[in-house]
Every structure is written in C-alpha cells, then in structure tokens.
Chain A
C-alpha cells in the first residue's frame, strides 16, 4: 500500500510541479534501504563463513578454504552493495513469502537462510551456498503471480536444503585432487605431440561431468521444490508458468520496441539515418554457436540447467495435482513492486557503469511514458557521460558492442553511439535537453546536465 501511495504522489508531482516555482524536486524517489538490516545480513553471512571454515576437515583444506573465501566474496559484493534490497516494504514482502514456505515445511525450520531481492537485471534467482538466496528484480518484474515467485524460492531453498553447493564443491575438489587426473597431467607434461588435443579431451570430460551433476541438481531441486510448494497453498501451476517464462525469457522485454529514429529526432536536430545504417559483415551467415567449434551434443553437455521443456515434462503431472492460490500475501503489493523495481533496475545498471544499457532503458521508459522525469534526466546524464568518455577515447569501457544475442533496438543504439561524432553527441544532447527543458525545469539535476550539454556544444564552435 505504501508503494501505491508513493507512485500516486510521484505522478501528481510530475504533472503539478511545473506550476511550482523555485522548489526543485528529485527526479525519482528511489527505495531507501535499511542499512541496519543490510549490516545484519552481512554479519550473519560472515558468521556462516567462519563456521564453514572452522568445520573443515584436513583433507584438501586449502582448496575448500579458497572456495569458501571466493563464495563469501560473492555474498559480500551483493550484501554490502546497493544491489541488495533491504527497503522495508519489499524486504518484508519477500520475508513473508519465505516464512509461509518454511512454516508449511517443518524440515526447513532452523535453516539459516537470507532470501533477498537484488536490483540486478539478469532474470535469475540463485542460492549462493551459505544460506544467502538472491531473487533478482530482473526476474521478479516478469512474474505474473506469487505462486510463480513461491516456486522459484522453493527451488532455491531446495538447493540449499539439499546442500548442492557443498556437493558441487566436493565434486570439484575430488576431481581436481584425484590421482588419475594428476597422473594424466604428469603424462601430458612429458609429451611433445598432440598435447593440446589430449588436454582438450581431458578438460571436456571434466567439465561435462561437472555440468551433468549440475543439471541433475537442478532436476532434484525442481522435485524437492515442488514438494515444498505443495504444502504452501500456492498453485502448482506456478511451476509450469515460471518454467515457460524462463524458456522464452530472452525474447521478453521490459518495454516496447524502441523507435530510435523517432525518440531522438528534434525539429532543430533531426535524426541522421547514417548513424544506424547497416554495414556488410564477414561471415554474416554464421551461427554464433559455431564459433565455439563444439558439436550440438557437446554444447548441450555444457549447459548447467536442463531445458525448460524437459523440466516441465518431468513434473507437469505433480504440478497439476497441486491446487492452490495464485496470491496469498498481497496481490496489490506484488503488482506495485513490479512497477517500482523497474526504475531500480535501470538505476542499478547505471551504477554498474553500463551507461549504454542505461541509456537504452531510459529511452524506452521515455517512449512508454514511464517514470518520465527520471527517464529524461538519465538520458541527459548518460549522453554527457558518453561525451566525456568519448573525449578521452574511453567510451568502449562503458558501452557494450553489438551482439546477435541483444535485441535489435539495443544493437541499433550501440551502433549509433559508435557512429556519432563527438560534436554530434553534444548537439544531440543539447537539443534533447532543450526539447524537455520546460517539462523538467523543476527537477533536481536536470539544469546541470543541460548546462554541461550546452558547454560541450560550445567546445566545438
């Protein structure tokens, strides 16, 4: 409910504040994390790390210790950074769903878990292995109901409950320290010919074995997760629809397809078609997968997760037998958080210094008429940053390169940024700022970005 009120207040602000004079308002009110909660999560994770290391046996202790240090680095990077969400409403919401699952499944009681939202864009959820489970906002925004969310959490809890991280680590350490592998390495080190071929073969066997275990673990987590879900009162269909979503997640977008030519064309500075004109490419008919030189069977063997269709088929009957609700905690808040997380994700992309992607998402927000002050401000800020980096010949460090796996609109924007000349970036931003000047005059930071854009134009005159 709090979130709903805030959005209404924001909309009101955007349309009314242009009437106000002198009082600058923020372009967006981002979620306010609770630093105490964040600190507590971090300390809990630190205690768990110490406990894990203290309990290690002498065998291969160096390898295990290193693995736990590496694991904790991932945990630390998440919990100490602005990526983790500890804002009360969102944090309490996910806690409530987790509590519902744990309360319904006595075997999970006493499990030291920290399930948190992260502001990361990749549509993913993962159990790190120390009890920390991250639920990326990039996945949450595509879900349709709590039942789907509950299944994803059940699946990750199952990984932790089944101790999959430790088992995977055991497998790694066992193989890496096995006499047979050491013997094989020793033999290869003495050979002069066909060393690379034999090494590749050995490596494949090792990697394929690990990945096969990983896929087995996923199937086991699905089965056990389904068992957990069954007792929660959520619909088993949450499993089926979340799997179907994952299956087509690469073709799913947060916003409508970007019309770059329209959104970045201004009366005084029209869009230039040469910015996005397609070029001939070498090996244009080549499938990117072929570059690996692996066969289809080998590529399949490298997958960490089984195909979603296979996962659905294995459990579809069990899922159908679970009748339940799609929402139990708060449907309105679920929908509210979906909307709130979008600008949070977009801003997190900016903080992670992927300025090209932040610009793309901000342009899409602007096109869809969502979070307008933030979108306009972000675009001006991004173009100024791109100008600054380009001036120092460092733009390549903050912009992705075109990739067949990206959507067409994003590739076009990347192409455009790499085609535009420095003065054109300045001119475009200056014209963009002038176009939105009236609407943005009461928002913090916009005037500064506009001044920068105009200064950049001046530098070329």
Chain B
C-alpha cells in the first residue's frame, strides 16, 4: 500500500517558490535516492536534491547537490565535478553538521562529505570497497531503495559526528562495519567484528554517554538457527570495544532499539522468547525492557507477557494473537515529557491464500506461491507508565492489505514474518513517527485507502497525533489530478505534498500541516 517513494534525479529547468509552494519545471525523469529528507532525530530540517547539472567530458559530470530548508527554500547549491559513476546514497544532520554519502560504482568507493553550518565543506572521508564487499552490498544495502528510510546506515551523534553501520564481508565471513566520522576535527575509526562466528548481523541501537550501542547476532554457520545475541558497546572516542553483553537472561531477548527515557537513562527494548527458543520459528512471549549503563551492566529488567500483563488490556491469546488484529509488529517506542511511554504497533495475520492453494493444486505442490498470505490489519498504540507497566491500548481501524507470500513461508514464525513484512516486502502501511523536540507531542503516520464510492475514493495519508494528553486522527486524500502524488516527512505535525504533472513536466511541492 505504502507508496512513499521519494523523487528523484531532477533536472531543474525553472523554479519558482510562493508561500510554502515550490514548482519545478522541466522535470524529465525521476529515480530513487536522489532526493531525501535531512533529519535531526525524527524532525525534518530540510531536503536535498542531487542532480546532474552538466556533462564535462566523456567520463565526468558536473553534479549539483541542492540543499533546501524544510519550507523548500534553497539554502545552498554545492556544485562539483566527478566521475559519471557517482550516486548519492544518504544524508544525516547532527544538529550542527551535515554528512552526505556518495558511491562510485566504477571505483568501488564510498565518499563521506561533511558540511558545517556555514555551508562550507569540512572533511571528506573515503572507504575503498573490496570486490566481495561490493557484491555483498549490492544484495543488501545498495539494493534497497530506502523509500521508507528503514535501512538507514548513517546515524547522527549530536555535535560530534556520525556513525555508519553497514554490512561488510571478510573473505568467506559475512559481517558488518561500524565507522565513526568526526566533524569536530579530521578523525575516523572503524570496527568490524570477525571473531567467534561465521556471520554477524549488526543493528545500531543508539548512543549514550560516550558509548555506541549495537545489537549483534553472531551465527556459528550459514544455517545456524540459534545465533548468539549480545549488546556491543563501542567507545565513541576510540572505537574500541567496551563490552559485550549477552542478551540471554531469564529469557532470550532480542532488542530492537534504544531510547533515552526516565531522565536520560538508556533503555533497550524488543521481543523476548523462551530460553533456548528458535527465533526463526518460535513465538515470542512478549516485550522486554532493559535499562543498561555505559559499562554494559543491566540495571533493571521488565518483561510483559502476552498472556498475563498484555491480556489485561487486549484480547490476547497465549500465542500473542490479538482478536481481529492478528499479531503485532512494533514499529517504535516514544516517551513523552510526562514520562508515559507509547508503543506504536501494526497488526498482521496469516491466512490461506486462494492463489497459493490453486497454484499448489495445479503444480502438485511445486508452485512458486505459498498457500499462505499475510494480511496487514490495523494500527495500535499501547501506553505504558515509566516503569513499563501497561496502562492502555487502542486500536485504530484501517483497511487490510493482502500480501501473497512466496513458497516456503507457510511455516515461518509470526515474529520473523513481521520482520520480513517490514524489511523485505514493505507490506506495512506504517510510514514514520515524529516526536517534537520538547517531547510533548508526536505523530504516527501511515497510509490507507477509501474503497467505498462517495465523495472520495482512493489512497489516503493518515496520522494519529498525541498532543495535550489527547489523541486525534487526520486524513489527507492523496489522489489528485496529478500523474502521481506523494507525501513526505516534514517537521513534526507537517508533511510535504508533492504532485507530479507528467504532461506539463511540472513538479509541485507544498508543505501542509496535519490536524
């Protein structure tokens, strides 16, 4: 459902701006990744547009990196000449500096360019990729269109620099690489785990008090179903490993993210399983919250099981299936200034697929389609107090989407299916959550559609906003006279609406507020 594609390789001809509206004439083509939001936390501070502005010779182009503020006012055009094989991959803003990651697919290099508040280039960092690394990245990081900004690899460290976490490959071992690029002075460090396993998957959790926290899965072999899970702490100053904290305690815990809550304490949270469970197949028991310090010491643990604590507020079976809603995929946690913690989730179910069954019958089980399909259901917001006791739950209805699953997905565990729906199929309608800087309000945005005939029929962009202790909902119709319309993140409570009028080769963008 979600079609939040970002535009694209723009060839700017003429441009006009009035009020909060920018019109770009002579837009000939669009391709992913050449435009994106520049964010500080979840707040959009501006946008960049990267396009070829001239051809210099057979091998060289002149590129323009156009940076606008969040009202689309042009702040800076950075022009430079480089190989025609250069692409922009992503950007980040850490409150004082900007970083852009460029990729040269001919020379197999990553180039990180940093810019200061005056718009002047500060430092450039390079990383040479090996052939194996390049091939591996082509199937992982580089293969993704980043349309939901899920696979972001650059994380801002306020006032210090940026951390990059990216898949990597060392000989036959698959691993990941953590880099830090300083913006205060020219300084860079790299960390790559290689010992004790054949495969490592690293996920950035967050930064706190000089420590970069990562969740790592260490696989003994390619078919290992029970990887070791541990929290890795790296020193921001040196890149040295400070600690490795296994997440097996009373249960098997798989943290999904880190948040600073309860007066700056670092909490990691995610689903937990029975000790010794196979996370690829088994059901999760519920959600866990751990407070962790900068030495990797766990200061507190909280477990909320589906069948006891959560069941008080939801009609939950012991397997975690909520009546009519299905299973829940947790997209994000938010803590507001009043200490309350909100979990934003979306429902999904498994169901028999008529297409898959027909295919199986016709091909005697050798068909490509699974006999199961996934159905993405409603949005849900769970409320917790600051001790992570559940205090409420509310379901927000939306239309269901069906995703036909490929063969082999019939017996997959629902938590893993949730991850695949999010990261592989892009099946969820959830788009993003934005929190305002003083943490008093947040908006959860997702897409939906109206199918009944009436005054409007078509796609919608929806929001659930928490402000002044109340939740309100809003909807923007996305169907218009334009060839396509898309809605992008802006500041919290606002969106950027883009309409592309193909016949007129015209792109119109304007900022609107959510209600």
Contact = CB atoms under 8 A, between A and B. Distances in A.
Interface of A: 192-197, 274, 277, 279-286, 290-291, 293, 390-391, 393-403, 418-419, 421-423, 460
Contacts of A280: 40, 45, 95
B510 A390 contact: no
B298 interface: no
Given A193-B54, A283-B76, A396-B20, 17 more contacts: A196-B53, A274-B436, A277-B437, A277-B438, A280-B40, A283-B75, A390-B515, A393-B514, A393-B515, A396-B19, A397-B19, A397-B510, A398-B19, A401-B19, A421-B467, A422-B515, A423-B472
B21 interface: yes
Contact of B476 (A291, A393, A399): A393
A430 to B, nearest CB: 16
B93 A282 contact: yes
Contacts, number: 116
A7 to B, nearest CB: 34
Nearest to A394: B512
B38 interface: yes
B117 A286 contact: yes
A391 B117 contact: no
Given A395-B513, A399-B19, A418-B494, A283 B118 contact: yes
State the 10 A-B residue pairs at the shortest beta-carbon distance, nearest first: A196-B54, A401-B71, A396-B20, A422-B515, A285-B117, A285-B118, A393-B512, A401-B20, A286-B119, A396-B510
A197 B513 contact: no
23 contacts: A193-B58, A196-B54, A197-B62, A274-B438, A280-B45, A281-B69, A282-B45, A282-B67, A283-B67, A283-B76, A283-B118, A286-B119, A291-B77, A293-B77, A390-B513, A395-B512, A399-B19, A400-B20, A401-B19, A401-B72, A401-B511, A421-B515, A423-B472
Contact of B45 (A195, A277, A281): A281
Contacts of A422: 472, 515
Chain A residues touching B, majority SS: loop
A401 B75 contact: no
Given A192-B55, A277-B438, A284-B117, A403 B513 contact: no
A393 B69 CA distance: 20
B56 A396 contact: no
Nearest to B22: A401
B73 A401 contact: yes
A391 B56 CA distance: 49
B56 A193 contact: yes
A193 B53 CA distance: 11
Nearest to A421: B467
Contacts of A277: 437-438
A361 to B, nearest CB: 17
Nearest to B495: A393
B98 interface: yes
Interface in B87-118: 93, 95, 98, 115-118
Interface string B52-83: 01111110001000010101111111010000
Nearest to B470: A423
Chain B residues touching A, majority SS: strand
B160 to A, nearest CB: 15
A103 B492 CA distance: 63
Given A401-B20, A401-B511, A197 B75 contact: no
Contacts of B115: 283
Interface in B480-515: 491, 493-494, 497, 510-515
Nearest to B47: A282
B397 to A, nearest CB: 20
Contacts of B77: 291, 293
A282 B467 CA distance: 26
Given A192-B55, A391-B515, A282 B476 contact: no
A192 B60 CA distance: 12
B206 interface: no
Nearest to B45: A282
Contacts of B148: none
A422 B474 CA distance: 10
A423 B470 CA distance: 11
Nearest to B54: A196
Nearest to B476: A393
* Residue of B20, B62, B67, B95 ringed by the most chain A CB atoms within 10 A: B20
Contact of B493 (A193, A279, A419, A460): A419
Contact of B512 (A274, A285, A396, A423): A396
* Residue of A192, A279, A398, A460 ringed by the most chain B CB atoms within 10 A: A279
Nearest to A199: B54
B421 to A, nearest CB: 29
A399 B20 contact: yes
B440 interface: yes
A403 B73 contact: yes
A291 B79 CA distance: 12
Given A194-B55, A421-B467, A282 B19 contact: no
Nearest to A418: B513
Contacts of B415: none
A282 B511 contact: no
Interface string B32-57: 00000010100101100000011111
Contacts of B71: 401-402
Contacts of B54: 193-197
A284 B465 CA distance: 29
Contact of B56 (A194, A285, A293): A194
A72 B118 CA distance: 45
A390 B513 CA distance: 7
A397 B21 CA distance: 8
Contacts of B440: 274
A282 B38 contact: yes
B57 A282 contact: no
A396 B497 CA distance: 11
A194 B438 CA distance: 49
A415 to B, nearest CB: 10
A281 B69 CA distance: 8
B109 to A, nearest CB: 24
B19 A400 contact: yes
Contacts of A281: 45, 69
A283 B45 CA distance: 10
Interface in B276-314: none
